A and B are shown apart, each in its own frame.
Chain A
Amino acid sequence: MGYNKVACVGAGITRFVRRAKETGRELAWEAAKMALDSAGMTLKDIDCVVMGTAPDAFDGVHMKGEYLADGSGGFCKPYMRHFVGGGTGVFAPIHGWQHVASGKFDTCLVVCEEKMSSTFPHPQGAFITIFDHTTEQALGPTLIWIFALEMNRYMQRWGLSERDVAKVSVQNKANAIDHPAAQLGQKITVEDVLNSEVLAWPVKRLDISPASDGAAAIILTNEHKARQVTDKPVWVSGVGWCLETAYWATRDLYYPVYVEKAAKMAYDMAGIREPDKEIHVAEPYDPFDYKMLHHMEGLLLCKRGEAAKLVADGVTARTGRLPCCPSGGALGVGNPIAATGLMKIIELFLQLRGEAGKRQIPGDPRVGVAQAWGDLMQVGTVVVMNR
C-alpha cells in the first residue's frame, strides 16, 4: 500500500455528564493529558494535533477550534479542526490517520470535545439552521422530527414494532453501567421505553441519547514509534467516509447507503470480505435506538431488516456472537456529539487490548469496527481496528 501503518497507542476520556463544571478547554485538556500519560508520552512527542468538535452554535463561540487549541495541546503545532456533524468523532481518527499514514508526521494527538450545556433552553435549537433556509426552515423542523420520520419509515419497511426497537435502548443503557464515563447507565425495561414521554411519535424520550458535555482523546503513531511506546498497539486497518446529498427527502430513509459505501471503503482497505463473520466487536453509532439497527445494516453486519432480530436474540450482547455497543453507546455512556464517536474508537482500543475491564467481551477479539453518522442524515464515517 502507498501509506504507512498507523497505530493507536493511548487513550483518554472524561466523564460524560449533562453539565460539566469544566469548560470545553478544560475537558479537552483532561482527555488529552490522560491519553498522553497512558502512552507514557508528553506533548513534546506529538507532531500534530487534530480537533473534532461539532457546531460552534452549541457554545456560542465562533471559531471554536481556535478556542479549544490550548486545551488540546494544539498551539504552535500543525493543528486542524474539522466538523462533519455527528460523524465528527469517527472522522477525527480518520483525519489523524491521514496525517500519519501520509508519512508527513510520526505522531498525532486526536482530541474530540463537546459542550452542549451552554445552549439555552436546549441545544436542539442550534440545529434549525441545518435545514434548507427557503424550503424547510419555514416549516419549523427539528432534528427530532426527521429522526422520527426515519424511524417510522425504517420500522414500516421491515414490519418492526416500537417494542423491537426499544430493546436496543435497554441493552445499551445496561451495558453503560460498567463504563466509568457513563451518564445514563441504568437497568430499564422495554416497558419503560414504551411508556416514556412521546416526543415525536414514534420517538419517545428513552429512545434518545442525552445531551452531554465531555471529551475524549487518542494518540496515533506510525509503526516505528508505536513499537517504542507500547507492546500492544492497535492498528487502524481501515478507514472510510462518504457524504450523501442534502436532498434528504428525495432518498428513501429506510437504508443508509452512504454508511454502506463508507463501510465498504474501510473493509476493502482492511481486507475484510465478510464483515458479519470477520468482525468481532462493533460500535455502530446509536444516538437513537433504531439508529444502531439502521447502522448495523449499513455496516453489512447483517442482512437488511434483520438487525432487530439479532438484538432480540442476544447476538449483540457482550456475550453474543457479534457484540454491538459493548461500551453502552451514545444511549448509555452519553452523547457529547464529537466525543461520542471517539469514545467508540476508545472502546475498540480497550476491547482489542483486553483492557475493557467489566465490559470486556470474551473470546479474544482481534477485529473491530466503529462508525458515526451525522449532518443532515447524510454522512457515514467508519474505522476498522485490528490487534
Chain B
Amino acid sequence: MLNEKLPGTPMSSEEFEKAITIEDHPALEYAWDDGVAIGRYLKELKNGRIVARTCSGCDRIMIPPRMFCELCWRPTDEWHFVKDTGVVNTFAVTRVNWDASRRGPNEPPLMPAVIEIDGASKGMGILHLLGDVDPKKVKIGMKVKAVWKPEKERTGAITDIKYFKPY
C-alpha cells in the first residue's frame, strides 16, 4: 500500500522562475556526413528530382534511398527516379515550433505530413510540409505535388522542396 503522503516537493512557477539559470551555448557544431545514399538523394534534389533505391530481394523501391535493405539485410541494387508527386498518408495542423513555443497569431500554422511518393513502393513515405492549401481542406488521401525552390536557390537539401501542394 502506498503512503498517502509521498516524498517529492512541488515548486510553484513563481519559486521556479526565481531560479538561477545557466545559459549554456557550447561551441558544438556538427558536420554530419550525408552518406552514400542520402548524399545522392540531396544531389538529385538540387537537380529537382527525387531518387530512390531498389532492392531485388523484397522488390521495394525505397525512399529515402538507402545502400542496404533493412528488411532483406543485403545491399540495395539500383538508383531509380520516382515522381515528385504523392499522396498524403497523414498530416497535422500545428501551432507549435520545435521547442514547444507557439506560433504567433499572424503566423500560419505549419502542416507537416507523411507523403507517400508516387513511383516508390506502396507506403514508402517521407516527412515534409504541405502548403498553398486551406488547412480545413486537407484530407488524408489527397494528391500533392512538390513545389521546388528556383534552381539557383537550391542547396542540395530537403528544403529544396519548399512544400507539397494539392494538384
Contacts and interface: CB of A to CB of B under 8 A. Distances in A.
A138 B2 contact: no
Given A141-B112, A142-B100, A250-B124, A34 B92 contact: no
A22 B159 contact: no
B36 interface: no
Contacts of B3: 180
Nearest to A144: B96
B11 interface: yes
B133 interface: no
A272 B62 CA distance: 38
A203 B6 contact: no
Contacts of B30: 133
A144 B126 CA distance: 17
B7 interface: yes
Interface residues of B, number: 56
B99 to A, nearest CB: 4
Contacts of A13: 2, 6
Given A250-B124, A250-B125, A357 B2 contact: yes
Contacts of B11: 17, 19-21
Interface in B40-68: 41-42, 62-64
B153 interface: no
A80 interface: no
- In this complex, the member of B2, B30, B110 whose beta carbon has the largest number of chain A beta carbons within 10 angstroms is B2
Contacts of A153: 89-90, 114, 140
B126 A135 contact: yes
A19 B19 CA distance: 11
Contacts of B24: 60
B9 interface: yes
* Shortest 6 CB-CB contacts between residues of A and residues of B: A15-B8, A148-B92, A200-B94, A153-B90, A125-B99, A124-B100
Given A20-B11, A201-B92, 18 more contacts: A14-B6, A18-B10, A60-B22, A121-B100, A128-B98, A135-B126, A138-B157, A141-B112, A142-B99, A146-B127, A148-B112, A152-B92, A153-B90, A181-B6, A199-B94, A200-B93, A200-B94, A200-B95
8 contacts: A14-B7, A20-B9, A131-B127, A134-B35, A148-B94, A149-B113, A214-B8, A247-B70
